[in-house]
Structure 1
Amino acid sequence: MLGAPEQSVTHQHDIDRIPEKDVTQEMLSGSGDNPEAWLVYGGNYEQHRHTTCEIITPENVGELELEYEMSVGSGSSMEGTPLIVPGDPPIMYQSNGPNHIKAIDPREGEVLWSYTYAVPNDVVLCCDDNNRGPAVYEDQVFMTTLDSGVVALDRYSGEEQWYHSTADHERGYSATWAPQVYEGTLFTGSAGGEYGVRGFHTAIDVESGDEAWSTLLSPETEWVGDSINQSGTTNWMGATVDEQRGKLYLPMGNPGPDFDGSVRPGPNRNSIGTLCLDMETGEHEWFHQESAHDVWDYDSAMPRILIRDVEIRGKERDVTVSVGKTGWLYTTDAETGELLVRSEPGCQQLNMFRMIPHIDEGRRMPFMPGGMGGNDWQPGAYNPDLGISYHKLHNSPQEAWWRFEEFEAGKKYWGGILEDEIESHPEGYNDHIGVITAFKPLTGEVVWQDWIDSDVYLWGGSMSTATGLAFAGNQNGELVGYDGETGDRLWEYDAGEAPISGDPISWYDPGTEKQYLAIQVGGSGWLRRGKRDDRLLVFSMEE
C-alpha cells in the first residue's frame, strides 16, 4: 500500500451543517420503508436495494438529469454504497478505497468532513484496495479497514473514537465490506482466502470497540487433518440481518487453497454457500453449500436477500436468495437452510465442474463461469411488488491449473494458477463478457437478460424502485434505467470512458422536493478493471 498517511487524519470543513440527530435502531429497522433514507448497505436489513420513492417512473425516467458530479479524491477503488441520513440537510456518508470516508451535503455536493485511515504499507490484498461502504448508528459512523480492522468515527465531526483489529493483517487477513450494526452491536467478517487464512465472524460493541463474540466458520469435525488451519471459508461481504429470528446470513467464500483440492479432502464445509449464525452467540445454525470440494474459486459472496412471508412448495416461509459464481440463483428456507429452488442459469455454463488439470499435464480446459463468476460480490436488488430480483453476472471463460504449494503465512496460497487470457473459447460461447439477469426467486425463472460486450469486467450493484424501474451501471460507463418487468432500456446516461463499479442508491429530500439517485464511477477489481476514476454522480427529478 503506497501513499497512505503515517497517521490517520480528519479534515473538517463545515461540520456545523450536520444536524445533530442520532440514528436510532428504529430508523435503521425502518430504512427500507422510508423514501428519505438509505441507512444500511442494502437499503434495508433484508438487502433488497429497493427505494419507495415514487417520483421517477417508467413514464418520466427519460427526463432524469444530472444534478452535479464531484471528485471524491483518491481515484482508487469505487465499489461502494453511500448512505443517506435524512435531515435538513440530509447527510451522505460516502467511502471508497483505500479507506477514505466523507460526510457530504448531497444537496450541494460539498464535503463537510473527511477522514483517511493510515493503512499499513505491508497489507496483503487479493483483489484491490476496496471499501464498499460505511455503517451508521446513533452518533457514530463505522468503516472496515484494509488491515482487517474496524474504525468508529464521530459522525458529526469525523474524529476517530476507537479502532479494533479483528486479525493479523501480516498473516493475510483484510477487510473491505460494509459492516452491519444492530442494537448496539457491529458485525464484521473476514477476508484473505487466497492467503490460507481461516474465516471468522465477529460481533463488536459499538460503544467500547470490544468483541462480544468471535466465531470460526469452518467446522472442526468436517475437515481432514490440519487442512482446517488454512481452510479459507471467509465471509468477505457483509451479513444479512434477520431481526425476527435473531439470525445472520453470511455469504461464504472459497476453501483454501483455491485450486489444489488434494490437500483438503472432503466437501470442505462451510465453504461456497450460505451460513446462518445466531446473532447473540455466533453459534452455527445451518449451512447450504453451492459447490462442494470447490476447485474453481466459486465464491458465493453476494449479500443474501431475505424475502418474508412467501408461499413456496405449498408452505408460507421466509427465504434467503443467493446468486454466486456458479451462475444459478438459490432460494433456501430461512429457518432450516433447505434448498427450495435452483434457478435457470443466469449466465452461460460451459465445461462447468470439470476437473481442472495439473500444471505439468500440458492440458488446457477453458471453463465458465470462470473464477470471476457468475455473480461475484456484486449485490443484487429485489422488487417485492414484482417478485423479481436483478443481478450482474460475468460471462467469461477462464483456465486454471492446480499444483502443490507449501503454505507460508502472509503469502498467496492459491495452489495453482488462474489464467484470464485463454487460447480458445469453449464451444458454444456467445462472446458476451457480461449480463444483467432478472430472476423470479420463487420459481427460478429467468425473466429477462441484457447481454453486454466489453473488454472490461462487469462490477457493481443494482437497485429497484417502487415504480417498477431497475437501475444498474456497467463497464462501458453507462448508467441504465430498465423497465423492471421487461428489461427494456428506458433511460441511459453516458458517464465517459471509466466503468461504473459502484452501487446506485436513491432518496427523497422534502427540502428540495426532489428524488435523487447517486452512484460512484471508476474501474475496480483485479483483472480487466478498466480506467480508474474518482467521481460521484448525483441525478435528480422534481415532483
Structure 2
Amino acid sequence: MAFRNQLLAAASGIALLIGATAASAEGGVTDQDILNDAKTTDDVVTNGLGPQAQRYSPLKAINKETIKGLVPAWSFSFGGEKQRGQESQALVKDGVLYVTGSYSRIYAVNVRTGEKLWEYNARLPEGILPCCDVVNRGAALYKNLVIFGTLDAKLVALDQKTGKVVWKKDIDDFKAGYSYTAAPMIVKGKVITGVSGGEFGIVGRIEARDAETGEIVWKRPVIEGHVGELNGKPSTMTGKLNESWPGDMWKYGGGATWLGGTYDPETNLIYFGTGNPGPWNSWLRPGDNKWSSSRVAINPDNGEFVWGYQTTPHDGWDYDGVNEFIPFDLQKDGKTVKAGATADRNGFFFVLDRTNGKFISATPFVSGVNWAKGYGADGRPIYDPEYRPGDPSKAADGGKGKVVHVTPSFLGAKNWMPMAYSPDTKLFYVPSNEWGMDLWNEPVNYKKGAAYLGAGFNVSPNFKDHIGSLKAIDPATGKTAWEYKNNAPLWAGVLTTAGNLVFTGTPEGFLKAFDAKTGEEVWKFQVGTGVVASPITWEQDGEQWVGVAAGWGGAVPLWGGEVAKSTSHVNQGGSFWAFRLPKTLAAN
C-alpha cells in the first residue's frame, strides 16, 4: 500500500509538471500583455486595469451624452446559498470573463452571452478565521493560468480553458489565523501575494512565486526582526531587531499585507501597504512598530526593501496602512515628479516620491480628523494625545482604559475599496466614509489563533444626511474638486474613463456614473443588491461594455455597529452584471 501511494504521488507530481509546462507552451497572457493592460481596450488582464492600478480606461464611446443608451446585456448568478460580500474585480481575455465569488469560488463565463463555461469551488475546512466576511477580491492571469487565493490561505492555479487544478500551494496555516482574500499580482513571471489575518497576531509578509509552478522565489516579512528568504535560503533581516518594538512583541506584530500591491515598471518597484500592529492596545508596544501601518517599496527581483514610509507610526486606532499606492506623474512647481498617492484609513491623503519614499504632502480628506493635528515637514504625524485611548493598566478596576471619541473610525476614511486616477482630469476619485468611533483599550495576551485586539469600539456616523462620500481630489493641492454624498457607507471600487466618466457602486444597489469634471450624476442602474466590487470596462465587437460584481457584504454589516443600520434593509446577492452600449447609439 505504501508503494502504491508513492506511485500515485509520483504520478500526481508528473501531472502537475506537465500542466506547468503546458502553461508555458500555450502562450496566453504574456508579461507584455500585463504591462500594456492600461492601454489595450479589448481585455482586462490585471487587477486595476494595469500594474499601476490607476483604474483608468482610454475607452470613450460611453460618455455623458451616450450613456443614456447603456443597457444590461446579461446577468450571471453565482448561485447557491453562498452569497454575502462580492468584492471581486473581474478579468476579461479572449472572449472569457473570470470572476471570483464569496467562499473562495471562481467562474469562467462567456463574455458575450453570460453562459458559464466552468466553476471551481474551493473545499474550505472548518475553523477558518476570516476577519471581515468571506470575500475574494479577484484573480490573476498568466500564460494559460488563472490564479487566485482561498480563505484557508492557499493559492490555486487553474487551467483557463478547463478550470482544472494545475498547481496548489499553502500560503500559511489557517489555524494560526492566516487567510487570503486579495487578488494576486503578476510581475516578471512571478505571482506576488501577501497574507491576511492581522487581528490574530500573524506576521505580514510579501512573497513571490514562479507563476508557472507555484514554487517560492523570495519572501519578505514586513515586521522588523524577521529574516527574509531568497531561492530557498535565508536572506536579510527586515530592519533592525528591537529598533522600534519592545521585547518579543515583534514575533507576532501584525502588519498583514492583506490587500495586494501595485507595480511600477518605470522604477521597477512593487508597492505594498502593511496592516495594523498587534495588538490594537498600543500601550503594550511603545515605539514606531515598523513596518506596520506603512507603505513599502520592494525590488521584485530579490524581495529586498528599497524604502518604507509609515503613515501611522505607533498605530493605536487600527488605521492599518494597506490601501493601494498608485503611481502617477505629479506636476509641481513646473516639474514632473515621479509620485505615488494613497488615501489612508487614518483620514489623510498622501503624496510621496515613488522613487525613494520621500514625503511630499498629507492632507485630510474627510471631516473632523482629530487623532493627529497634521503632518510635519519630516512626514511624521503631529499627534493629539487627547485622542489616544487610555492605558488600561492604569484603570482603577484593572479593566478598560479611558474611552475617546476619535475620527475617523477604524473602518477608515477609506478602506480596501480602490480609488482611480484620471490622467485627463489629473484628479483621484476616492470612495470615502464620514464616521467616528468610541474606542477604548483592554488587557490582552497573545494566543495562537485567537483574536489579538485589546480594544473595544462603537462606530457612529459623523453626519445625519450621509456617511459615504465619493470625492475628486487634486493631488497637487489636496483639495476636493467635487463630492457626491451617499446615505449608506461606500464600499465599492472606482473606475474612470476617457469618456469623462467615473463609475462606482452603492450599498443601496446602484451602479452609478458621474461626470469626472463636475461630479454630476449622469446614469444609474439598480442591480437588486448592494455593490461592493470594482467595475471594469472593455471593448468587444466594436462596442464598449461595463461590468461589475454585485452582492452586499464586507466589513460594514459585521463591524459597523450603529452605521450598519443604514444597510440593514439591503438584500444579499451574488451575480455579475454586464452592460453594453450598442453601436447605433454610440454613433449618435
TM-score by length of 2: 0.84
Q: In the aligned structure 1, how far is the partner of 2:278 from the partner of 2:415? A: 17
Q: For residues 431 and 256 of structure 1, do their structure 2 counterparts lie closer, same or farther at Cα, with a shift above 3 Å needed? A: farther
**Partner residue of 2:442 out of 378, 394, 403:** 403
- Aligned twin of 1:256: 278
Deviation of 1:316 (Å): 2.6
Q: In the aligned structure 2, how far is the partner of 1:246 from the partner of 1:302? A: 20
**Partner residue of 2:452 out of 387, 407, 413:** 413
Please state if 1:320 is matched with 2:335.
no
Please state if 1:284 is matched with 2:318.
no
CA RMSD of aligned residues (A): 1.8
1:302·1:380 contact (CA, 8 Å) conserved in 2?
Answer: no
1:459·1:524 contact (CA, 8 Å) conserved in 2?
Answer: no
Q: Map residues 498-509 of structure 1 onto 2, 5 A cutoff.
A: 498-509=529-540
Aligned residue for 1:228, secondary structure, equals: helix
Please state if 1:378 is matched with 2:417.
yes
Task: Specify the code of the residue in structure 2 equivalent to 1:507.
Answer: W
Please state if 1:445 is matched with 2:479.
yes
- Aligned twin of 1:75: 83
Deviations 1:220-246 (A, max 9, x none): 223221110111112111111122322
Q: In the aligned structure 2, how far is the partner of 1:395 from the partner of 1:301? A: 19
- Aligned twin of 2:205: 200
- Aligned twin of 2:117: 112
2:483·2:519 contact (CA, 8 Å) conserved in 1?
Answer: yes
- Aligned twin of 1:134: 139
Aligned residue for 2:33, secondary structure, equals: helix
1:346·1:446 contact (CA, 8 Å) conserved in 2?
Answer: no
- Aligned twin of 2:580: 540
Deviation of 1:357 (Å): 3.4
Q: In the aligned structure 2, how far is the partner of 1:201 from the partner of 1:312? A: 33
Deviation of 1:72 (Å): 1.5
1:201·1:217 contact (CA, 8 Å) conserved in 2?
Answer: yes
- Aligned twin of 1:30: 36
Deviation of 1:273 (Å): 2.3
Please state if 1:155 is matched with 2:160.
yes
**Partner residue of 1:465 out of 497, 501, 504:** 497
Aligned residue for 2:405, secondary structure, equals: coil
- Aligned twin of 1:8: none
Aligned residue for 1:262, secondary structure, equals: helix
Deviation of 1:396 (Å): 1.6
Deviation of 1:338 (Å): 0.8
- Aligned twin of 1:12: none
Aligned residue for 1:79, secondary structure, equals: coil
- Which is helix-richer, 1 or 2? 2
- Aligned twin of 1:43: 49
Q: In the aligned structure 1, how far is the partner of 2:442 from the partner of 2:360? A: 37
2:400·2:442 contact (CA, 8 Å) conserved in 1?
Answer: no
Deviations 1:492-540 (A, max 9, x none): 11223x2111110000002xx2211011111122332653211211111
Deviation of 1:77 (Å): 2.3
2:328·2:339 contact (CA, 8 Å) conserved in 1?
Answer: yes
Task: Specify the code of the residue in structure 2 equivalent to 1:449.
Answer: E
Q: In the aligned structure 2, how far is the partner of 1:183 from the partner of 1:212? A: 12
1:343·1:446 contact (CA, 8 Å) conserved in 2?
Answer: no
Q: For residues 348 and 64 of structure 1, do their structure 2 counterparts lie closer, same or farther at Cα, with a shift above 3 Å needed? A: farther
Aligned residue for 1:398, secondary structure, equals: strand
Q: In the aligned structure 2, how far is the partner of 1:347 from the partner of 1:376? A: 16
Please state if 1:241 is matched with 2:263.
yes
2:222·2:274 contact (CA, 8 Å) conserved in 1?
Answer: no
Q: In the aligned structure 2, how far is the partner of 1:202 from the partner of 1:362? A: 38
Q: For residues 117 and 226 of structure 1, do their structure 2 counterparts lie closer, same or farther at Cα, with a shift above 3 Å needed? A: same
Q: For residues 193 and 104 of structure 1, do their structure 2 counterparts lie closer, same or farther at Cα, with a shift above 3 Å needed? A: same
Deviations 1:473-504 (A, max 9, x none): 011112111000110101111223x2111110
2:177·2:200 contact (CA, 8 Å) conserved in 1?
Answer: yes
2:199·2:451 contact (CA, 8 Å) conserved in 1?
Answer: yes
Task: Specify the code of the residue in structure 2 equivalent to 1:357.
Answer: G
1:190·1:199 contact (CA, 8 Å) conserved in 2?
Answer: yes
Aligned residue for 1:32, secondary structure, equals: coil
Aligned residue for 1:393, secondary structure, equals: strand
Q: In the aligned structure 1, how far is the partner of 2:526 from the partner of 2:405? A: 34
Bigger CA radius of gyration: 2
Please state if 1:64 is matched with 2:70.
yes
Q: In the aligned structure 2, how far is the partner of 1:342 from the partner of 1:306? A: 16
Q: In the aligned structure 2, how far is the partner of 1:125 from the partner of 1:177? A: 12
Q: In the aligned structure 2, how far is the partner of 1:432 from the partner of 1:77? A: 22
Q: Map residues 214-363 of structure 1 onto 2, 5 A cutoff.
A: 214-220=219-225, 221=240, 222=243, 223-258=245-280, 260-308=281-329, 310-313=330-333, 315-350=335-370, 354-357=387-390, 360=399, 363=402
Q: Map residues 165-176 of structure 1 onto 2, 5 A cutoff.
A: 165-176=170-181
- Aligned twin of 1:487: 519
Q: For residues 506 and 23 of structure 1, do their structure 2 counterparts lie closer, same or farther at Cα, with a shift above 3 Å needed? A: same
Q: For residues 278 and 125 of structure 1, do their structure 2 counterparts lie closer, same or farther at Cα, with a shift above 3 Å needed? A: same
Unaligned residue ranges in structure 1 (runs of 5+)? 1-19
Aligned residue for 1:202, secondary structure, equals: strand
Deviation of 1:362 (Å): 7.4
Q: Which runs of 4+ in 1 moved over 4 A?
A: 350-353
1:45·1:242 contact (CA, 8 Å) conserved in 2?
Answer: yes
Please state if 1:388 is matched with 2:394.
no
Deviations 1:66-98 (A, max 9, x none): 12222122313200100011x3xx111110111
- Aligned twin of 2:381: none
Deviation of 1:403 (Å): 1.2
Percent identical among aligned pairs is 28
1:77·1:129 contact (CA, 8 Å) conserved in 2?
Answer: yes
Deviations 1:350-379 (A, max 9, x none): 566611235646754322210101111011
TM-score by length of 1: 0.90
Unaligned residue ranges in structure 2 (runs of 5+)? 1-25, 226-239, 373-383, 393-398, 559-566, 584-588
Aligned residue for 2:34, secondary structure, equals: helix
- Aligned twin of 1:5: none
Deviation of 1:125 (Å): 1.4
Deviations 1:166-185 (A, max 9, x none): 21111111110000012221
Please state if 1:474 is matched with 2:468.
no
Task: Specify the code of the residue in structure 1 equivalent to 2:577.
Answer: L
For structure 1, which segment, 170-179 or 344-353, has the greater mean C-alpha deviation from structure 2 after superposition?
344-353
How many residue pairs get aligned? The number is: 509
Aligned residue for 1:342, secondary structure, equals: strand
Deviations 1:275-312 (A, max 9, x none): 1111111111111111111111102222221114x333
Q: In the aligned structure 2, how far is the partner of 1:69 from the partner of 1:61? A: 19
Q: For residues 486 and 375 of structure 1, do their structure 2 counterparts lie closer, same or farther at Cα, with a shift above 3 Å needed? A: same
Task: Specify the code of the residue in structure 2 equivalent to 1:165.
Answer: D
- Aligned twin of 1:9: none
Q: In the aligned structure 1, how far is the partner of 2:294 from the partner of 2:400? A: 31
1:251·1:274 contact (CA, 8 Å) conserved in 2?
Answer: yes
